[in-house]
Structure 1
């Protein structure tokens, strides 16, 4: 059971305080801070090579696209079938 002096509506904060008399902490900057490994350089070069080939491939695909995806105007399309095509050409044989 809850004690009578504890109120559920009140806010209680518990703060853990660490003694700050140690000056060994450099804020997360240990002896290896700021150093990179050769593995990181290799990964970075691989990413640049991959991006180069992706851009090259995208440019190749973009050049194959038409200049516009708009429907051709009604004037450009013939309203009748061209002579010598369709059912008339079959009857002539």
Structure 2
């Protein structure tokens, strides 16, 4: 009859040589993910460098010279401002920004 020590000491993990592809495949995946990360970071840095330092403020069509930059009133002046929203008004945004 087997003792508890013999059962615990027995190697039930099989041949350790059959899983020889797991190490190289893991290294390959790590290298692919690392390369993809480096390329994505380089691409984002290039895109951020192309952005202007400052954007023109929206809502001031006289300074931008574009007619489509004007903000239209969705209520057509027939009602007061909607006070149910907690969003800041345009005047509060200019004051805080």
TM-score, normalised with respect to structure 2:
0.39
Indicate the structure (1 or 2) with the bigger Cα radius of gyration. Answer: 1
Specify which structure has the bigger relative contact order, considering alpha-carbon pairs within 8 angstroms and separated by 6 or more residues: 2
More helix by share: 2
